[in-house]
Amino acid sequence: MSDISPRLELPLLQPAQAQKHVTHNEALRILDIFVQLTVEEFDATDPPVTPEEGKVYAVGAGGTGDWFGATGLLATWVDGAWQFHTPTAGWIAAHAATSEVRVFTGSVWSAVTGGGAASTQNLAGVGVNTTSDLTNRLNVSAPATLLSHEGSGHQLKINKAGVADTASVLFQTGFSGRAEFGLTGDDDFSIKLSADGSSWQDAAKLSPGDALLTTGNLVGTVSATPGPGSALFETATNANGSYTRFADGTQMCWRNDFTAAGSSGGVWTFPAPFVDANAAVTTTARDAFARFITVTGVTATDATLNTYTQDGGTELPDTNIMAIGRWF
């Protein structure tokens, strides 16, 4: 029969042993140290000048005085002398002053808490009200999740390794995907929809330089090279009439009060120029008398018209006039 216990090395009572109380009290003294282990200092190197009975120190490398050569041992002052005990890997001890908890790795005391709060460094997974797994290493089961600011704001970052990878937010029904937005397989921002979780369609896709059309930019200034700030439609009125430009290059110009200069011709300057002289120009006389209106010339900036009365006179009617062409 061994003289000590296998784990804590407690002295065991032996058959026919005299003064059994001495062995028993020694075992109780060791248990008093190890149960609910609390240390005064981790990685301690210098013994206190005035040691106190029962105080425990985790001796680190470089011990001095009575602690010389006691690296990794637990030192406690007992009956006027230092007593040393060897911890085993997996033992847990709390710092008496800060409540910091450390675990013995077999060689050093490694922190598992700091300032009383659980460490979140290099965890294999975290499950909040549920269990994490190898894919969902952070798993939260709750009615809501709040990520609040510290200071003035808060930013959520989703990073991917390369262009062909995915960084996105996925919405599911019964753990089957239905909507997803983010960078999915490229660096374009996509919004994707699915009815079954396997077949997906792009509902919207934006490349760098693109812009979404909204009520704020649907009508504005269009550009031959669409980009941020450009609109789908542009419309305006000036002294020469009104015009509407479309982002696809189509342009319409019109004026409802143009008066041509009879057989000598009248020139209508377009309210906005076309890209070339290929605009189609149409006219309509506005009063009750028959009129003949001819378009005798078109350029990128104007159209020339002649008007005649039915009897060959030169009475000048008000004319509705329109031109359709391209602005780029």
Q: What Rg, from alpha-carbon coordinates, does the chain have?
A: 44
Pairwise CA distance, residues 146 & 277, whole Å = 62
Which token pair is 120?
Answer: 């979140």
**Strands of the 318-326 sheet, one edge to the other:** 233-238, 241-246, 250-259, 318-326, 280-285
Distances (CA, A) of 126 to 91, 110, 112, 122, 171: 23, 20, 15, 11, 21
The CATH architecture that domain 233-326 belongs to is Sandwich (2.60)
Question: Do the beta carbons of residue 12 and residue 24 sit within 8 Å?
Answer: no
pLDDT at 288: 60
Question: Do the beta carbons of residue 309 and residue 289 sit within 8 Å?
Answer: yes
Q: Per-domain residue ranges for the chain?
A: 36-114, 166-206, 233-326
Pairwise CA distance, residues 68 & 48, whole Å = 13
Task: Tell me which residue has tokens 């409540």.
Answer: 99
Question: Do the beta carbons of residue 324 and residue 250 sit within 8 Å?
Answer: yes
pLDDT by 10s per residue, the chain, length 328: 456 444 444 454 556 555 655 454 565 565 656 666 888 899 999 999 999 887 889 999 999 999 999 999 989 888 788 988 888 888 888 898 888 888 988 888 887 754 444 556 677 888 999 999 999 999 999 999 999 999 999 999 999 999 999 999 999 999 999 999 999 999 999 999 999 999 999 999 998 887 776 767 777 888 877 666 778 889 999 999 999 999 889 999 999 888 766 555 689 999 999 999 999 999 887 766 666 788 889 999 999 988 776 655 555 567 889 999 999 9
pLDDT at 139: 95
Pairwise CA distance, residues 155 & 145, whole Å = 15
| Residue 108: partners with Cβ closer than 8 Å, 6 or more residues away | 43, 72
Pairwise CA distance, residues 241 & 239, whole Å = 6
Which token pair is 36?
Answer: 């609910």
Which token pair is 183?
Answer: 């960078």
Give backbone dihedrals phi and psi of 256, rounded to 5 degrees, phi first.
-105, 5
Within 10 Å of residue 291's Cβ, how many Cβ atoms?
20
Pairwise CA distance, residues 189 & 194, whole Å = 17
pLDDT at 259: 76
pLDDT at 264: 55
Within 10 Å of residue 22's Cβ, how many Cβ atoms?
12
